[in-house]
């Protein structure tokens, strides 16, 4: 496994030399300053690549080229946005970058309801469907929202909302709509409600078709550019705001790989996202999809109740990280025997707690320095142990 680290570019308060000291060799980043729907130029890519290499690191993965709502909802900007995506892919290929992560979640990217949930091990991220419903139904007052929740959740959300201070209401709306890092955009309430209209009652089948049409366009370009794609699963892996989510389960992942049977069409296997559903068996999924896993996000979650979870330490939580790493190492060995050039799979410690000792207080939520360094160190220990026991 190649040990990588997500870095948000020159604006990231964590420096590349700190990343190097954490022990990562690869960088995962994107040209976050360029809005979705605009092609990245060769010059801008070369500049970022040179900055990374000057620190003795390599730009291993692009996460992400934003997939616009125009592409997902198939609005009138579809053709233009897809062309820009393809041009970016070709430019990345020319720069020798071989792996691109992206997601196909409507409107919001990853979503949480708490960014500083206190645990013994530090401050964690958490998702609670009751808080989410309180925001959707009572703060945003989305039309028809109450039909999208079980009556128990709705009642709990009503009580939760009634007990919330104005400050918490405002915070919740900001956390959910203002977007977490990596998302294309931050929305205000009006822009969000407007976008919802663009999706106008789209169901899972239509969104799947939209993804299929997108892949028809980009997979051949990726093949030619020497790039492997990896779709990031839905986080959380269930529908939000009444909008479909189509990359949440083993069945979803299998169907999308089968629909475009090319090595360029692969997965970002995010253990935390798939692991937020009790019905995803992660080790089995690695067995089934191994040859098409192009990138790994390693983090762990504790499921508190259905659709309620918090991010645990990397080796704690509900997912058996040792078994997962052993399964990935087995897949890498299998690829090596086959002579595959991509037998080393890039992984990054995904998220980390914010620890009292962290000198970087203003990192993006989930992207602390010390918490991720601790996670990476623990994961590295597991890799060493798994290898030693096989030897
Ligand atoms: C969260 C990240 C996501 C991810 C995108 C990929 O921490 O895993 O923002 O980068 O969904 O497109």
Whether residue 260 lies in the annotated active site: no
**Percentage of the chain lying above the pLDDT 90 cut:** 92
Looking at every residue in the chain, the average pLDDT score rounds to 95
| pLDDT at site 266 | 98
Tens of pLDDT, residue by residue over 372-381, are: 999 999 999 9
pLDDT tier, 201 (very low <50, low <70, confident <90, very high otherwise): confident
**Residue 113 pLDDT exceeds 70:** yes
Q: Can you tell me which atom of ligand 1 is nearest the CA of 66? A: 12
- Does residue 102 line the site of ligand 1, with CB under 6 A? yes
- Does residue 367 line the site of ligand 1, with CB under 6 A? no
- Does residue 247 line the site of ligand 1, with CB under 6 A? no
Whether residue 297 lies in the annotated active site: yes
Whether residue 184 lies in the annotated active site: no
- Mean pLDDT, range 265-290, rounded to an integer: 97
**Residue 257 pLDDT exceeds 80:** yes
Q: How far is CA 60 from CA 78, 103, 295, 372, in A?
A: 28, 18, 10, 18
Name which of 284, 267, 178 is nearest 228 in CA terms: 267
Q: 162 CA to middle of ligand 1, Å?
A: 32
Burial of 7 (0-12, 13-18, 19+ CB in 10 A): buried
- Does residue 366 line the site of ligand 1, with CB under 6 A? yes
pTM value surpassing 0.85: yes
Q: Can you tell me which atom of ligand 1 is nearest the CA of 102? A: 12
Q: Can you tell me which atom of ligand 1 is nearest the CA of 64? A: 12
Helical (H) or strand (E) element with 68:
none
| pLDDT at site 6 | 98
3-state secondary structure of 56: coil
Q: How many residues does the chain have?
A: 391
Tens of pLDDT, residue by residue over 115-142, are: 999 999 999 999 999 999 999 999 999 9
Question: Which of 81, 109, 350, 358 is an active site residue?
Answer: 350
> Atom 1, ligand 1: which residue's CA is nearest?
110
Name which of 88, 71, 89 is nearest 80 in CA terms: 71
- Does residue 128 line the site of ligand 1, with CB under 6 A? no
**Residue 60 pLDDT exceeds 80:** yes
- Does residue 64 line the site of ligand 1, with CB under 6 A? yes
- Mean pLDDT, range 189-193, rounded to an integer: 86
**Residue 224 pLDDT exceeds 90:** yes
Q: How far is CA 155 from CA 158, 204, 237, in A?
A: 5, 27, 23
**Residue 185 pLDDT exceeds 70:** no
**Percentage of the chain lying above the pLDDT 70 cut:** 98
Domains and CATH numbers, the chain: 2-112+201-390 (3.20.20.150), 123-194 (no CATH)
Radius of gyration of the chain (CA): 20
Q: 380 CA to middle of ligand 1, Å?
A: 22
Cis peptide before 64 (omega within 30 of 0): yes
Whether residue 101 lies in the annotated active site: no
Which tokens in the block code for residue 260? 């475009």
Q: 309 CA to middle of ligand 1, Å?
A: 17
Tens of pLDDT, residue by residue over 348-373, are: 999 999 999 899 999 999 999 999 99
């Amino acid at each position: 496994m190649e040990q990588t680290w997500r870095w948000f570019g020159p604006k990231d308060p964590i420096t590349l030399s700190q990343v190097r000291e954490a022990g990562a060799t690869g960088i995962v980043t994107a040209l976050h300053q360029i809005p979705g729907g605009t092609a990245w130029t060769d010059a801008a890519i070369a500049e970022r690549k040179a900055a990374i290499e000057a620190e003795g690191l390599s730009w291993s993965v692009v996460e992400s080229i934003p997939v616009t709502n125009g592409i997902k909802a198939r609005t009138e900007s579809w053709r233009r946005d897809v062309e820009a995506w393809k041009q970016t892919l070709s430019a990345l290929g020319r720069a020798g970058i071989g792996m691109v992560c992206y997601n196909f979640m409507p409107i919001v990217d990853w979503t949480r309801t708490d960014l500083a949930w206190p645990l013994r091990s530090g401050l964690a991220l958490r998702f609670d469907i009751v808080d989410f419903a309180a925001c959707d139904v009572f703060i945003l007052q989305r039309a028809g929202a109450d039909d999208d929740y079980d009556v128990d959740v709705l009642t709990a959300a009503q009580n939760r909302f009634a007990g919330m201070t104005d400050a918490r209401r405002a915070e919740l709306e900001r956390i959910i709509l203002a977007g977490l890092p990596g998302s294309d955009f931050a929305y205000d309430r009006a822009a969000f409600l407007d976008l919802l209209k663009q999706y106008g009652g789209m169901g899972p089948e239509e969104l799947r078709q939209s993804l299929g049409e997108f892949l028809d366009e980009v997979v051949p370009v990726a093949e030619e550019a020497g790039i492997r794609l990896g779709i990031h699963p839905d986080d959380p892996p269930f529908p939000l705001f009444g909008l479909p989510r189509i990359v949440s389960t083993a069945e979803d992942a299998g169907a999308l790989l089968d629909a475009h049977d090319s090595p360029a069409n692969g997965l970002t296997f995010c253990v935390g996202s798939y692991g937020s559903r009790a019905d995803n068996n992660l080790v089995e999924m690695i067995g089934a999809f191994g040859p098409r896993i192009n990138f790994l996000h390693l983090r762990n979650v504790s499921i508190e109740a259905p659709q309620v979870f918090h991010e645990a330490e990397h080796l704690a939580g509900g997912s058996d990280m040792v078994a997962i790493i052993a399964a990935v190492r087995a897949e890498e060995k299998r690829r090596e025997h086959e002579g595959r050039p991509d037998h080393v799979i890039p992984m990054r410690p995904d998220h980390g707690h914010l620890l009292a000792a962290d000198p970087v207080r203003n990192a993006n939520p989930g992207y602390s320095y010390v918490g991720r360094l601790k996670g990476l160190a623990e994961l590295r220990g597991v890799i060493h142990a798994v290898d030693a026991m096989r030897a």
